[in-house]
């Protein structure tokens, strides 16, 4: 592995650091309290526009569609430096990280010209409409249907767990257009207007108090055929483009997530019946375990970066990292709250214990979002270790003959 920047990369990193020091001056420290949703949206749009004007959006995208035409390493360097701040970026991570690359890869030049520039400027927010109540990890089992009607398609069905759907202007939706084809071969993807007649978005209340996820209902929603992405029946192939970008977007450790140092700080500050928590052997062992996991994640990511820097395609690093990241965050957070006992319920705003409390509430979802632990372990087993694949008896069966779970 190569841990060092090339001369050109070092120059780019210095440029980014200097720009962030000025442009993100108000975000160099964490906010005193979490932003309300509307404030978060306003700040996110302002930051996205500021990045656009400085030329730090679409870094790897072709110049022909408004990107910078640079290498993945340039994007990674910018992400690394941006992650040292507390700027709001989550509103656009799905749209720019997953949806828009699918749009300009599989949409017509006219469609790309219409949607890409506004997405880059942050004028329009996008969401990804994939999961359904009976089709989460098994995406090919979706039942939301689209029926051709002249030069339009009529969509009916339901999606769930759609992040920021209630704040999105557009989305990409995978539908079933042929119920008599095998489940992977009867899908088609479209761009849908989130404010179109027949669209209903219902926020899901989370135990943290927020509502980032949503249920989305389609009732006779009409979409023009020009807004189809890829060929009819090729929705699975198009979805793989989205999922490939999703692995890159959510495969690593979330920005500003707690780590072993956070747990160490809490252990140093807590007093137990037998003395300071840090003096207990089981506590020290748990901190050591967390450190090993954190370092393993960091070094695995460095392996992927080294491959990119040599012009190679990274291997299974993202799947491995995500499995370890999600479980480590959940286990570490649960241990810290158990250690704090009743103090884990009433925490001081901005404290390390508050970070771990927040991590405890969303880390379980991280083990589902972007691919469940089970799906990722299958990928690692089959594509990395070369183990025999799962039996898939429904692979060639017409979808109409399959019974829902």
Asked if 326 and 373 count as a contact pair (C-beta separation under 8 A), the reply is yes
DSSP 327-363: HHHHHHHHHHHHHHGGGGTS--TTSHHHHHHHHHHHH
Q: Which residues are catalytic?
A: 246
Residues 6 or more apart whose Cβ sits within 8 Å of residue 192 = 129, 155, 170, 171, 172, 173, 199, 218, 221, 223, 227
157 dihedral zone (left: phi>0; alpha: psi -120 to 50; beta): left
Burial of 377 (0-12, 13-18, 19+ CB in 10 A): middle
Asked if 172 and 129 count as a contact pair (C-beta separation under 8 A), the reply is yes
69 dihedral zone (left: phi>0; alpha: psi -120 to 50; beta): left
Q: 114 is written with which tokens?
A: 């219409």
Asked if 380 and 320 count as a contact pair (C-beta separation under 8 A), the reply is yes
Closest CA relative to residue 172, chosen from 199, 193, 200: 193
Paired sense of beta strands 187-193 and 145-149, if any: unpaired
């Amino acid at each position: 592995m190569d841990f060092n920047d090339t001369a050109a990369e070092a120059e780019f990193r210095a440029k980014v650091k200097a720009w962030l020091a000025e442009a993100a001056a108000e975000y160099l420290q964490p906010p005193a309290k979490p932003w309300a949703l509307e404030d978060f949206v306003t700040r996110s749009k302002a930051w996205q526009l500021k990045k656009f004007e400085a030329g730090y959006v679409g870094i790897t995208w072709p110049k022909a569609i408004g990107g910078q035409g640079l290498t993945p390493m340039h994007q990674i360097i910018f992400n690394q430096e941006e992650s040292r701040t507390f700027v709001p970026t989550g509103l656009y991570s799905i749209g720019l990280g997953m949806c828009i690359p699918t749009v300009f890869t599989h949409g017509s030049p006219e469609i790309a010209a219409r949607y890409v520039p506004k997405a880059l400027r942050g004028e329009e927010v996008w969401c990804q409409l994939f999961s359904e109540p009976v089709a989460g990890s098994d995406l090919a089992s979706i039942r939301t249907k689209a029926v051709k009607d002249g030069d339009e398609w009529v969509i009916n069905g339901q999606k769930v767990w759609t992040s920021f759907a209630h704040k999105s202007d557009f989305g990409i939706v995978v539908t079933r257009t042929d119920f008599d084809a095998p489940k992977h071969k009867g899908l088609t993807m479209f761009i849908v207007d989130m404010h179109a007649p027949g669209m209903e978005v219902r926020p899901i209340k989370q135990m943290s108090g927020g509502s980032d996820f949503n249920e989305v209902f389609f009732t006779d929603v009409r979409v023009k055929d020009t807004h189809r992405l890829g060929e009819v029946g090729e929705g699975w192939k198009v979805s793989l483009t989205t999922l490939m970008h999703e692995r890159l977007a959510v495969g690593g450790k979330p920005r500003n997530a707690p780590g072993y140092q956070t747990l160490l700080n809490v252990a140093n500050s807590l007093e137990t019946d037998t003395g300071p928590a840090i003096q207990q052997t089981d506590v020290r062992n748990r901190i050591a375990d967390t450190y090993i996991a954190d370092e393993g994640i960091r070094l695995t990511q460095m392996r992927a970066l080294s491959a990119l820097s040599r012009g190679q395609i990274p291997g299974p690093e993202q799947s491995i990292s995500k499995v370890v990241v999600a479980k480590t965050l959940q286990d570490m957070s649960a241990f810290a709250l158990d250690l704090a006992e009743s103090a884990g319920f009433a925490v001081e705003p901005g404290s390390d214990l508050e970070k771990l409390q927040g991590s405890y509430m969303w880390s379980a979802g991280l083990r589902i979002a972007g691919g469940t632990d089970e799906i990722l372990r299958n990928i690692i087993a089959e594509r990395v270790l070369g183990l025999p694949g799962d039996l898939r008896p429904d692979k060639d069966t017409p979808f109409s003959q399959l019974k829902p779970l």
